[in-house]
Structure 1
């Protein structure tokens, strides 16, 4: 009988506990298995491979995968999907190796599996934690139906530089909101019981600080103080760990001059010893090998460095597989370090229930009933609606009447290829609803006059860079002049123009950094020509990042930011444009006036020479000669078809004792003509403290629905830890003194109350 089955036949299904209640005690069954394993078998468990065939996240694809599995040299695979393929691979591991240790199957499921949701930056703009959690639950259910039990998500990197393409994959600039979303995603993926075949291992990434790379250039260096790390960047990672995240992925960047994949302070001192993480750590795609290019030695040297730092699994690079045995013989690593890494990988498999049933996630009946269902698509449509941010509504032109004559123009108006967004490798663009089809579905009585109007961009060399994963930028055989003439003709016979413009999906995302984050010139020309017709113009703006749209914002146009909305894109956009849903999204990343302002974010500190609040230029103050300090659009900003009035802010105590909570209440009234939702936001200012405080910090929010004319009193509780910060000694403390509380609809909130902490 298979040795693993002999070892584990006594296990009951219910004995595996969720990782949210981990014990520091070793798992007896894993320890018994470790005693039977050879050195080579232990090292084999540290090797994660991809056989290719899917969308890779690097230039390397593993070779001779089947032979390596048979040799016991593989702990997991990614880039494989479908129960049939999973069973073939698992059969090799379970039936054709000495100990029959099952494989993990991983995948990048960033914003949905086959049912693709809005990009994460868009999802974060909903400020709806239950909705975000439900998208993760659906992603887990669909992915596990195809045999995947480990997800390389959530990405929780804080980013304040929209030039970085991967800002699209995270929750924006704020650590408080980012922490809430990290918790929602981890609990959505992992549920309460990891042996439930609808749940999967979460992998929080990228640890750490990846979103702070210099110049917004992907894979670049990071350099910041520990105080800045702890106060502004690390919180979402810790929130994910505290929520029970089963695994952590290292980042490509360096931290204090040492690449994260080989950084002992990061992976052991902080992650395991300070935060108590007991899961396993995997490298990003070949990030172990890439430490050679960082300048830290050859493959053997960096592999030993990574193992000793606390890395447990090597993704694709095979540095562990090819060098650890030699390093052990030379005394550069210890067998205990190899065993500890192997133990953590095996414990994850145990907690998934794979030792009890290696085929638990392999069920050929599940895909047809669990993937891309009508119920799942309904959630995708809801999520997309709630992710949209109304940036401007010129003369209240929105919502449109469903009987209107509409010129629907723009290079993204009839493009299935650009609806899913970046990092949707498991999605299928053929399942996406285009904007034009959504308009026809939602407003069948409208007259739609369609014209492409322009290319996304006219630069063929740039288009080739963007089209790596398929035709995202399609340069028409018609001349730009002809395309524009067709759009103007459509506008002339219509009541209103809806122009769908912005970025193609792969103009943001990994390895898609941009120094110019404005709307491409070809589309700018189209927009200006449409405005010149005198017809009302609505811009439906798609992007994976904040854009610099000062020129467009100054035009007499309405602007609805829809990110890349996912599989239900067209239906959701039409729902909002025609008023079936009143937009409620709020920006989670500040929109700069131009790239010269970057970084600009809501929790910036005052200087010793702050600019005047009027923003009039003054010499010897911290301001620009050629632009205001304030951004074009602040964090938390978003309009509605209705309007909201804030009043009567109160704190329940003026003097607060250490360890006490503070309740802040405010009245919010819907003063407009539509029912709608508002995100009530609370910002805190520590007036005097031992290290310089931010001007404001988000410390609470609540999304509330108000009928037309309705008033509600909203109470948000500040917990004792919300008053704390990391001081210069990295102690997490609250200091006595005065605090100011601001409540409103964005980070410019001015309604203020005060209290004193004793």
Structure 2
């Protein structure tokens, strides 16, 4: 019975009191945890602590250019394509939309009690390593070769993901990766030592983007890299993590190890710098790595008991992890968290589709346009579309991607752009690399149920008991659980297995090829013997196998599929591969007024540690940068036949296109343009959109212009240090408009250290099309023979109507005017004589020079 005059108090622990600060709540919760519980929270799959109300949490989620590996989502252009927009505001808009979709998906999953991989609020993006060499497969995930462009794009991505300042809870947490001197090769990244790095290269090239994301973007996570830096694994590097990141930059967020990176410390096939998991984990924590993507940190319990590390050192990391979860509202009920009200309808919404189209258009980079052959004019026009990438939707998605509700392929985009009196001819003609095309043999398969493959499915992971579902398939497989689509009715989206079997009786002898594109574990058996298998851990990947067959001889084929993680996928066909016939294909397009060849490469060839071993490719990296020879031969044959060829090049890396400049009338670099890429390409080709993209990477003439891939010295690399003339320079791109630059003007020519510099440039569109110009400002210090020839310090995308003149204005301040100081061996404000260079690309003839003096 209540006592008159007293107020009843609710008693609950401080960590549950939403009126307290997150710091106070984290401190209180930390004191209540046992050592074993603390360690269980320091792994990417963090275990629940039910007695304290801590739910399970999976720290691993992806959003490189849209929410990834989590069903239907808007797929924006690959980051290297977004970088070609030179539009940081546009990148912010993209990632603001991405964060809406990520929160909506998390809200949905958590409402169902699901807290698995790719369902959380910590997005391991953006990738801000410098794309120092075009052979690096993961360069497609970056924002290019320039430290300033990478910085402003990366900051925009982080701010779009994490949400506005001033909110009680963070919308999401972003993660800058991979810290720090890391840009290939892929094949030896678990043992490679980036050593003897010039201090100047470290601070001028490899670190600026990370520093910007920490000090300007307030990024909440940093991912340390696989490789070593100056002898120490990056995730155990005192120099990188303690001295630079924590002490110099003041970063107090989470450092997460790249997946398996701690294991690399003691793996005899990797760095092998430590004897065991306990020693490796101790070093990781003491160097400042808080979270292990893996299970090595389990050994921290042993390490404490054996005196290798004290529990108080572990507490430092655990508090950071707890604090992040409080900041995200993950520890509180949804009624307190405004972001939990974002409706699921934002996912793959019409407005986000429009944004994907806008960014795809801005990414389109016109490299060649002889005699203004573009834009094309429809009306009694016969267009032939050929090439391996013309009708490939998956290519457009890039890597680390989600799955769009609909993809407009380049073929579809061009078809839709044609008028009623125009005609389209489609002829694939060739594959990406090989001189063959697949002729399916699926129709030669039979089971006791009829033609095709018989399938058995189990809703368990060990094929226990009778199959839960059986089915018969008469066409090649194209299964995916993306968008909550099951492989078969009655089978779950996760934790299932399948076996597909048939008898294949070939009609002719020869070599038969099996091609898989799979996310899961796959094993292929022939006549009861396993002949090939793979497990996909980083999204879908290809697997191929070939074997000799005799006509009329039956072969028992069995395919076993096991669910692994994320969205399961199984795309499969097999058959004979016939030699391409270039002459025959050219004959099929003889009536075309224009041939649009859609070629390049594919994310199935370039990317992260992929296991690809084909001519020109190794494990996701490129061994040369040329357009694959089969495509090159096809384009030359078209030219020799008198055809005007427009090359639409799809790639995430710079391609050596020196012969194609001679054989093509126009070249459009389309990157991996996302779900609306086909329409964006067609809009540029037919003049609906005036191209404005600029190269965020140098396009070299050939591999001979490149230094040793494993040499991290910047000498001779990128536009900043390259003395030779490239094929197409950084910052280059054509428009259907003609932009004229007036004389750049400074308010004065001498400034004190720390002053802002105001710059104005008149800009006139003297063409017939409205368009956007990308005004670029570069800086160099006179007399500095060791430094960059020029380096980007400001950029603006400026719309100018046909016939109009506008004034571009810049305020250069802070880091935009910093330079290397040889005396202090650091970057900062340095007095001296400089030159500002203003223009449309990094090429000398495209720039005007204005002198600038900075005094103490």
Give the TM-score range, shorter chain. 0.7 to 0.9
Change (3 A) 1:475 1:531: farther
Q: 1:10 is matched with which residue?
A: 17
Match of 2:490 in 1: none
Question: Which whole-Å CA distance do the structure 2 matches of 1:423 and 1:733 have between them?
Answer: 36
- Aligned ranges 1:438-477 → 2 under 5 Å: 438-445=413-420, 446-458=422-434, 469=540
User: Which residue of structure 2 aligns with residue 626 of structure 1?
Assistant: none
Report deviation, 1:395: 1.8
Residues 472, 423 of structure 1: alpha-carbon distance in 2 compared, 3 angstrom cutoff: farther
Which of 312, 315, 330 does residue 290 from structure 2 map onto?
Answer: 312
Contact 2:647–2:664, Cα closer than 8 Å, also in 1: no
- What's the counterpart of residue 346 of structure 1? 322
Residue in 1 that maps onto 2:214: 241
The verdict on how the C-alpha distance between 1:334 and 1:526 changes in structure 2, with shifts beyond 3 A counting, is same
CA distance in 2, matches of 1:4, 1:398: 73
**Inter-partner Cα distance in structure 1 for 2:296 and 2:658:** 48
Partners of 1:5 and 1:355 within 8 A in 2: no
Equivalent position to 1:140, from 99, 103, 126: 99
Distance 1:337 1:591 in 2: 48
Pair 10,217 (structure 1): closer, same or farther in 2 beyond 3 Å: closer
SS in 2 for 1:201: coil
Secondary structure in 1 matching 2:39 = helix
Query: Whole-Å Cα distance in 1 between the matches of residues 705 and 360 of structure 2?
Result: 29
CA distance in 2, matches of 1:545, 1:463: 28
User: How has the CA–CA distance of structure 1 residues 30 and 746 changed in structure 2, closer, same or farther, with 3 Å as cutoff?
Assistant: same
Q: Match of 1:591, SS?
A: coil
Instruction: Give the one of 97, 100, 103 matched to 2:54.
Output: 100
Q: Distance in 2 between matches of 1:171 and 1:463?
A: 36
Q: Deviations over 1:36-84 (max 9, x none)?
A: 11111111110113xxxxxxxxxxxxxxxxxxxxxxxx25xxxxxxxxx
Residue 839 of structure 2 is matched in structure 1 by 744
Selected match of 1:589 from 697, 704, 713: 697
- Given that 1:195 and 1:353 are in contact with CA atoms closer than 8 Å, whether structure 2 keeps it comes out as no
C-alpha contact 1:668 1:711 (8 A) present in aligned 2:
yes
- Kindly indicate whether residue 109 of structure 2 is the aligned counterpart of residue 125 of structure 1: no
Shift of the alpha carbon at 1:643?
1.7
* Distance change (3 Å), C-alpha of 1:138 and 1:342: same
Which of 13, 19, 40 in structure 1 is aligned with 2:36? 40
**Partner residue, 2:809:** 715
Aligned partner of 1:287 among 261, 264, 273: 261
Cα deviation 1:271-325 (Å, max 9, x = unaligned): 1111011111111111110122202122221111111111101002x1111x111
Residues in 2 aligned to 1:241 and 1:462: alpha-carbon distance in whole angstroms:
49
Aligned match for 2:398, one of 421, 429, 432: 421
User: Corresponding residue for 2:755?
Assistant: 660
1:435 is aligned to 2:410: yes
Q: Does 1:479 align with 2:574?
A: no
Would you say 1:672 and 2:644 are equivalent positions?
Answer: no
Structure 1: 5+ residue stretches without partners: 17-25, 50-73, 76-92, 612-628
Shift of 1:726: 3.8
Residue number among 333, 339, 343 corresponding to 1:357 in the alignment:
333
Aligned mates of 2:249, 2:580 — CA distance in 1: 60
Counterparts of 1:145 and 1:733, CA distance in 2: 43
Aligned to 1:636: 731
Distance 1:275 1:402, change over 3 A: same
Number of the residue aligned with 2:509: none
Distance 1:522 1:4 in 2: 74
- Equivalent position of 1:388 in the other structure: 364
Residues 435-444 or 284-293, more deviating: 435-444
- 1:189 matched residue in structure 2: 161
2:663 match: secondary structure:
coil
5+ residue gaps, structure 2: 1-9, 68-72, 107-119, 437-511, 519-535, 545-572, 610-619, 708-715
CA contact (8 A) 1:669 1:706 kept: yes
Whether the 8 Å CA contact 1:400–1:579 is kept in 2: the answer is yes
Q: Confirm or deny that 1:258 pairs with 2:232.
A: yes
Hey, which of these two has a bigger chunk of strand by percent?
A: 2
String of CA shifts for 1:378-435, please: whole Å, max 9, x gaps: 10011101001101012211111233211011111111221101221x325x732111
Which is higher, the Rg of structure 1 or of structure 2?
2
Partner of residue 605 from structure 2, selected from 495, 507, 511: 507
Gap change, CA 1:660 and 1:265, over 3 Å in 2? same
Q: From 274, 278, 282, give the equivalent of 2:252.
A: 278
Query: Helix, strand or coil: the match of 2:164?
Result: coil
Q: Give distance in 2, aligned partners of 1:545 and 1:742.
A: 27
Could you tell me how far 1:727 is from its partner in structure 2? 2.6
Contact kept? 1:541, 1:560, Cα under 8 Å: yes
* Distance in 1 (alpha carbons) for counterparts of 2:126 and 2:517: 24
Distance 2:593 2:721 in 1: 47
How far apart in 2 are the matches of 1:542 and 1:416? 12
Query: What is the match of residue 57 of structure 1?
Result: none
| Alignment match, 2:173 | 201
Q: Distance in 2 between matches of 1:486 and 1:364?
A: 58
Q: Could you say if the C-alpha distance between residues 644 and 490 of structure 1 is closer, same or farther in structure 2, counting changes exceeding 3 Å?
A: farther
Q: Is the 8 A contact 1:649 1:665 kept in 2?
A: yes
Deviations 1:527-553 (A, max 9, x none): 111112212210010001111111112
Mapped to 1, the partners of 2:36 and 2:338 lie a distance apart of 28
Q: Distance in 2 between matches of 1:489 and 1:5?
A: 80
Question: Residues of 1 paired with 2:124 and 2:105: CA distance?
Answer: 16
Asked whether the 8 Å contact 1:4–1:355 carries over to 2, the reply is no
* Deviation for aligned residue 1:359: 9.2
Give the TM-score normalised by structure 1: 0.84
Counterpart Cα distance in 2 of 1:714 and 1:560? 27
Q: Which residue of 1 aligns with 2:629?
A: 521
- Residue 755 of structure 1 is matched in structure 2 by 852
Shift of 1:210: 1.0
- 8 A contact 2:406–2:675 mirrored in 1: yes
After TM superposition, the structure 1 = structure 2 runs for residues 560-639 of structure 1, keeping only pairs within 5 Å, are 560-599=668-707, 600-605=716-721, 629-639=724-734
Do 1:491 and 1:535's aligned partners in 2 also have CA atoms closer than 8 Å? no
Separation in structure 1 between the aligned mates of residue 41 and residue 256 of structure 2, nearest angstrom: 12
Partners of 2:83 and 2:60 in 1: how far apart?
24
Alignment correspondent of 2:777:
682
> Secondary structure in 1 aligned to 2:174?
strand
Deviation at 1:101, TM superposition (A): 4.6
Return the offset for 1:326: 1.4
Q: In the TM superposition, what is the alpha-carbon distance from 1:631 to its structure 2 partner?
A: 1.0
Contact 1:392–1:557 under 8 Å retained in 2: yes
Q: Distance in 2 between matches of 1:398 and 1:475?
A: 40
Q: Secondary structure at the match of 1:118?
A: coil
**2:279: which partner in 1?**
301
Q: Deviations over 1:308-358 (max 9, x none)?
A: 111101002x1111x111111222111111111100000000111122227
How far apart, in 2, do the equivalents of 1:131 and 1:5 lie? 46
Task: Indicate if the aligned counterparts of 1:410 and 1:501 stay in contact, CA closer than 8 A.
Answer: yes
**Conserved 8 A contact 2:170-2:327:** no
Distance apart, 1:681 and its partner CA? 0.5
CA distance in 2: counterparts of 1:650 and 1:216, whole angstroms = 49
SS in 1 for 2:98: helix
Q: Counterpart of 2:44 in 1: which secondary structure?
A: strand
Give how far 1:440 is off: 2.6
SS in 2 for 1:240: helix
- Normalising by structure 2, report the TM-score: 0.75
Structure 1 residues 476 and 650, CA, compared in 2 at 3 Å: closer, same or farther? farther
Equivalent-residue separation in structure 2 for 1:253 and 1:4 (angstroms): 50
